[in-house]
Amino acid sequence: MASRIDLEAQYCAQNYKPLPVVLTRAEGVHVWDEDGNKYLDMMSAYSAVSHGHANPRLVRLVQEQVAQLNIVSRAFYTDRLGPFLERICQLTGQDMALPMNTGAEAVETAIKAARKWAYTVKGVATDQAEIIACTGNFHGRTIAIVAMSDEPQYQAGFGPFPPGFRLVEYGNIDALREAITDNTAAFLVEPIQGEGGIIVPPDGYLKAAAELCRERNVLLIADEIQTGLGRTGKLLACEHDDVHPDGLILGKALGGGILPVSMFLARRDVMEVFTPGDHGSTFGGNPLAAAVGLEALNILVEDNLAQRSADLGTYLLEQLREIDTPLIRELRGRGLFVGIEIDPSLASARQVCEALMKRGLLSKETHETVVRLAPPLVIDQAEIDWAVQQIREVLQEIDRVRLAS
Ligand SMILES: *Cc1c(COP(=O)(O)O)cnc(C)c1O
């Protein structure tokens, strides 16, 4: 019988290069492969599994809801959508929400909202609206979204791209000030760049950007698909800077590690640009997803997962700082959202991840140099101690081999 890896090699588009491990089961912070080996998941599906795998409350809720009502489309009201959106609006201080499924769809929704707001509220001339994004951004993979990317591979071979996007250097407030024109609809920004390599902008950047946007009547739209919902030690990463964005994009952990659930949230005058027929999604806001999303929010609040992320993230960074190795060039992050920058002249991040996998710790490199650590927020201190021990031993082993050769 062909191995599962061979089957994917033959039948699955090769748009990923997975680590060579075949997972069959998961619970909490752990996953198991087909040979029964156990791994600590320090990746949690790019933050989608913040609640832990197969969170018991969510599993129970899904079992009940799945027998009750699942997919009906937005052609009808359901008993589940309103309470979910009410809760997320109250938690985030936003007025209204538009539910979608994947992160990219929610970003597309934000782009549409910003453009239509620019034409109908701000008074920008037809088809002249501009959206400013940042160098090093990651907002998803649709054609419009990769039009905003400065990562050559995300664009190569996929053009032509829609116009109306402009890039400014991430973290540089002067660059943003110079880029804003009367046609600028929105500034789209990740409070911490995740796929970019866990890049934390300079202190005060987000706050200054928010003030600038307010002065120039530009919407500040925070893409918190990865940083949101407790990942960085606050419910929203924007809260670290005391910033309340005009538009907010959530995804990943909103689905409780069970379903794709995303949304765009905004002020009423922004969201009101949408009228029936303007925009939609067959699955967006379905009752199963809404039930899961509401329970995911309840768990986040009742189990204090944001505070847990703050405390354990601080602890994780402290422990990593104790590792004595020339391989680490920089450690950075906030909450349980940590990047280890590996000195590329000494090792690659991929090599570190492969060695960690052999010891039962799953992570994933981002770019060639960064090992990302973003475990489920339900991880405990003993599990972090174990992870740090594996990282220490792997880095020291790679260094020993390097010096011996
Ligand atoms: C993952 C991610 C997206 C895209 O989400 P998908 O569900 O993969 O479409 C967008 N923005 C940020 C910041 C992300 O981390």
Please list, in sequence order, all residues whose beta carbon lies within 8 angstroms of the beta carbon of residue 11, skipping any fewer than 6 positions away.
Answer: none
By alpha-carbon position, which residue is closest to atom 7 of ligand 1? 103
Judgement on whether residues 278 and 289 belong to the same structural domain of the protein: yes
Judgement on whether residues 164 and 224 belong to the same structural domain of the protein: yes
374 C-alpha to center of ligand 1: Å? Answer: 15
123 C-alpha to center of ligand 1: Å? Answer: 30
- Dist CA 320 CA 335 (whole Å): 13
Judgement on whether residues 266 and 369 belong to the same structural domain of the protein: no
Query: Which among 282, 302, 322 is the end of a domain?
Result: 302
**HEC assignment per residue over 207-246:** HHHHHHHHHHCCEEEEECCCCCCCCCCCCCHHHHHCCCCC
Q: Are 346 and 402 in contact (CB under 8 A)?
A: yes
- Dist CA 225 CA 46 (whole Å): 10
Binding-site residues, ligand 1, Cβ < 6 A = 46, 102-104, 107, 138-140, 190, 194-195, 223, 225-226, 251
Query: Which among 278, 302, 326 is the end of a domain?
Result: 302
Instruction: Give the orientation angle of helix 56-66 with respect to helix 287-302, to 10 degrees.
Output: 160
Q: Are 58 and 305 in contact (CB under 8 A)?
A: no
Sheet containing 130-134: which strands, arranged edge to edge? 96-100, 262-266, 247-250, 219-223, 184-189, 130-134, 165-168
Which atom number of ligand 1 is nearest to the Cα of residue 141?
A: 9
- For residue 341, give the 3-state DSSP assignment: strand
Out of 252, 258, 372, mutate this one to test ligand 1's pocket (max ligand atoms within 8 Å of CB): namely: 252
Radius of gyration of the chain (CA): 21
Residue 319's pLDDT is 98
- Dist CA 321 CA 16 (whole Å): 31
- Dist CA 329 CA 81 (whole Å): 46
Structure confidence by residue, pLDDT tens digits, 186-235: 999 999 999 999 999 999 999 999 999 999 999 999 999 999 999 999 99
Tokens of 155: 């664009």
335 C-alpha to center of ligand 1: Å? Answer: 19
Judgement on whether residues 45 and 85 belong to the same structural domain of the protein: no
Judged against a pLDDT cut of 70, whether residue 44 lies above it is answered with yes
pTM over 0.95: yes
- For residue 235, give the 3-state DSSP assignment: coil
- Look at the chain and report how many structural domains it folds into: 2
> What is the pLDDT of the chain when averaged over all its residues?
97
Of the candidates 162, 139, 160, the one whose C-alpha atom is nearest the C-alpha of residue 151 is 139
- Dist CA 273 CA 261 (whole Å): 22
Structure confidence by residue, pLDDT tens digits, 243-291: 999 999 999 999 999 999 999 999 999 999 999 999 999 999 999 999 9
Out of 149, 225, 231, mutate this one to test ligand 1's pocket (max ligand atoms within 8 Å of CB): namely: 225
- Dist CA 191 CA 311 (whole Å): 20
Instruction: Just list the catalytic residues.
Output: 138, 223, 252
Average pLDDT on 65-92 reads 97
* CATH number for position 342: 3.90.1150.10
Tokens of 339: 């990047």
- Dist CA 22 CA 25 (whole Å): 10
- For residue 232, give the 3-state DSSP assignment: coil
Judgement on whether residues 395 and 336 belong to the same structural domain of the protein: yes
1 confidence band (pLDDT: 50, 70, 90): low
Tokens of 219: 């919407």
303 C-alpha to center of ligand 1: Å? Answer: 25
Average pLDDT on 140-153 reads 97
By alpha-carbon position, which residue is closest to atom 5 of ligand 1? 103
405 confidence band (pLDDT: 50, 70, 90): confident
- Its domain, for residue 82, covers 56-302
Average pLDDT on 88-107 reads 98
* CATH number for position 145: 3.40.640.10
Judgement on whether residues 254 and 112 belong to the same structural domain of the protein: yes
103 C-alpha to center of ligand 1: Å? Answer: 5
Which atom number of ligand 1 is nearest to the Cα of residue 105?
A: 9
Percent of the chain scored above 90 by pLDDT?
A: 97
Judged against a pLDDT cut of 90, whether residue 2 lies above it is answered with no
Which atom number of ligand 1 is nearest to the Cα of residue 140?
A: 4
194 C-alpha to center of ligand 1: Å? Answer: 9
Judgement on whether residues 258 and 339 belong to the same structural domain of the protein: no
Out of 137, 138, 190, 259, mutate this one to test ligand 1's pocket (max ligand atoms within 8 Å of CB): namely: 138
Judgement on whether residues 341 and 281 belong to the same structural domain of the protein: no
Query: Which among 281, 302, 323 is the end of a domain?
Result: 302
Judgement on whether residues 16 and 158 belong to the same structural domain of the protein: no
Structure confidence by residue, pLDDT tens digits, 50-60: 999 999 999 99
Judgement on whether residues 358 and 244 belong to the same structural domain of the protein: no
Average pLDDT on 390-398 reads 97
Q: What is the DSSP string of 161-197?
A: --S-EEEE-TT-HHHHHHH--TTEEEEEE-SSBTTTT
Structure confidence by residue, pLDDT tens digits, 171-185: 999 999 999 999 999
Judgement on whether residues 68 and 182 belong to the same structural domain of the protein: yes
Judged against a pLDDT cut of 90, whether residue 32 lies above it is answered with yes
Average pLDDT on 115-123 reads 98
Judgement on whether residues 79 and 22 belong to the same structural domain of the protein: no
- Dist CA 177 CA 121 (whole Å): 22
